[in-house]
Amino acid sequence: MRCKLIAVLYGLTFSAVALASDEAGLAAVRELGRLNGQTLACGQKNAASWIRVLMLNHAPKTRMYGEAYEEGTQETFLAHGKGTPCPDSAELGARLDEAARRLKAVLPAAGQVPAGHNAGESVPNAIAPRYLLQDPNGRAVTNEDFLGRFQLVAFGYTSCPDVCPTTMLEMKEVLRLLGEQAERLQPVFITVDPERDSAQVLREYAAAFDARILGLRGSEALTRRAANEFRVRFEKVRDPAAPPDAYTVDHSAGMILLGPDGRTILRFAYATPARQMAERIGALVREEKDRAPGAAPRPAR
């Protein structure tokens, strides 16, 4: 009798935890919908693209979650028509960051319903660099677009006299040395000089080294936010006597490797030999492949 009572109580407790988890997930998705409605009403397309990616990658594909998202979207879209003002870029950025943090805390994996978590168990929410930028074709690109692949990221600018060309040559050589394994890696070059690095300039610059390198750019605010996420520093250096568009950009050098989950794995110092980087990345790619479901065991050495 006592065992049955314990089982019943355990079932009730588990149901309560599952319900609480569902409510937290639905609340996070509904808030994301509210932000979506506001960005759509205010014509903020880049932010709306980021929200859509977050929704696709984290919200369970169920009617319940879809309705919560739509309810939130309609709520703020209609409110805007009644005079609700549009937020400025700083306020919107802060709200997006908070909504993304909350969503990933309660729904940490793509399409995962967190009902199975034990009461009191914290959900892992490792910090990963986030960004919202544009490719040379004007398409909004975020860190969420590359989940499932490694990313090798470098910051710089196209008129950089020495450090950046050297870094890009190293990136090109890493891709060559990786061979077929390079298919698991997305090389990225983020400009810290969007004022002069137009989409066309960035496209031609990246392609001159390797067509697989993706050049990204954004507004001053979005570039600064991306750099902060990667803990990269940059600032313009001007000569008072020079024309306004004659300046250099002092910036952190080196490359950053992100894993398939978007978290930082390694930081390669500037001038690290390409062969050394390729060997390290290749080893990580093999390890990731071995961990994949259904992978055959590696032979003993």
What confidence score (pLDDT) does residue 158 get?
Answer: 96
Residue 121 lies in a domain: no
Considering the domain architecture, whether residues 6 and 96 belong to the same structural domain is answered as yes
Residue 118 lies in a domain: no
- Count of beta carbons in the 10 Å neighbourhood of residue 168: 22
Is the confidence at residue 227, as pLDDT, over 50?
Answer: yes
Structural domain of 256 = 132-291
Residue 59 lies in a domain: yes
Between the alpha carbon of residue 134 and those of residues 40, 140, 188, the distances in Å are 18, 5, 12
Pick from 171, 176, 221, 217: nearest CA to 197: 217
Mean pLDDT of 146-174: 95
**What single-letter DSSP state applies at residue 156?**
E
Considering the domain architecture, whether residues 28 and 158 belong to the same structural domain is answered as no
How far, in Å, CA of 274 to CA of 174, rounded? 5
Q: With cut-offs at 50, 70 and 90, classify the pLDDT of residue 61.
A: low
How far, in Å, CA of 142 to CA of 131, rounded? 5
Is the CB of residue 152 less than 8 Å from the CB of residue 281? yes
Considering the domain architecture, whether residues 39 and 103 belong to the same structural domain is answered as yes
Instruction: Give the CATH number of the domain where residue 243 resides.
Output: 3.40.30.10
Residue 123 lies in a domain: no
Q: With cut-offs at 50, 70 and 90, classify the pLDDT of residue 84.
A: confident
What confidence score (pLDDT) does residue 112 get?
Answer: 37
Considering the domain architecture, whether residues 95 and 222 belong to the same structural domain is answered as no
Considering the domain architecture, whether residues 60 and 161 belong to the same structural domain is answered as no
Is the CB of residue 199 less than 8 Å from the CB of residue 134? yes
* Joined tokens for residue 294: 């259904």
Collapsing DSSP to helix, strand or coil, 229 comes out as helix
Considering the domain architecture, whether residues 91 and 222 belong to the same structural domain is answered as no
Considering the domain architecture, whether residues 158 and 59 belong to the same structural domain is answered as no
Residue 119 lies in a domain: no
Q: In the chain, at which residue ranges do the beta strands (DSSP E only) sit?
A: 132-134, 140-142, 150-156, 185-191, 214-216, 234-238, 247-251, 255-258, 264-268
CA 70 from centre of chain: 24
Q: With cut-offs at 50, 70 and 90, classify the pLDDT of residue 16.
A: very low
How far, in Å, CA of 214 to CA of 202, rounded? 9
Residue 31 lies in a domain: yes
Considering the domain architecture, whether residues 104 and 202 belong to the same structural domain is answered as no
Considering the domain architecture, whether residues 75 and 107 belong to the same structural domain is answered as yes
Asked which of 83, 112, 141 is the last residue of a domain, the reply is: 112
Residue 237 lies in a domain: yes
Is the CB of residue 215 less than 8 Å from the CB of residue 187? no
Is the confidence at residue 57, as pLDDT, over 80?
Answer: no
Between the alpha carbon of residue 26 and those of residues 10, 123, 231, the distances in Å are 24, 16, 32
Pick from 296, 263, 283, 300: nearest CA to 181: 283
If you average pLDDT over every residue of the chain, what do you get? 80
How far, in Å, CA of 59 to CA of 111, rounded? 5
Strands 234-238 and 214-216, bridge-based pairing: unpaired
What confidence score (pLDDT) does residue 238 get?
Answer: 83
* Domain tally, the chain: 2
Q: With cut-offs at 50, 70 and 90, classify the pLDDT of residue 183.
A: very high
Q: Specify the higher pLDDT residue, 42 or 12.
A: 42
Is the confidence at residue 153, as pLDDT, over 90?
Answer: yes
What confidence score (pLDDT) does residue 127 get?
Answer: 61
Considering the domain architecture, whether residues 84 and 142 belong to the same structural domain is answered as no
Is the confidence at residue 235, as pLDDT, over 80?
Answer: yes
Helix, strand counts (H, E) of the chain: 8, 9
Count how many Cα atoms sit within 13 Å of the Cα of residue 24 in the half-sphere of its side chain.
20
Considering the domain architecture, whether residues 8 and 85 belong to the same structural domain is answered as yes
Considering the domain architecture, whether residues 172 and 26 belong to the same structural domain is answered as no
Is the CB of residue 209 less than 8 Å from the CB of residue 172? yes
What confidence score (pLDDT) does residue 293 get?
Answer: 56
Which residues make Cβ contacts (< 8 Å) with residue 140, sequence separation at least 6? 45, 46, 49, 50, 132, 133, 134
Highest mean pLDDT: which range of 23-27, 75-79, 114-118, 153-157: 153-157
Residue 124 lies in a domain: no
Mean pLDDT of 253-260: 92
What confidence score (pLDDT) does residue 114 get?
Answer: 37
Is the CB of residue 93 less than 8 Å from the CB of residue 221? yes
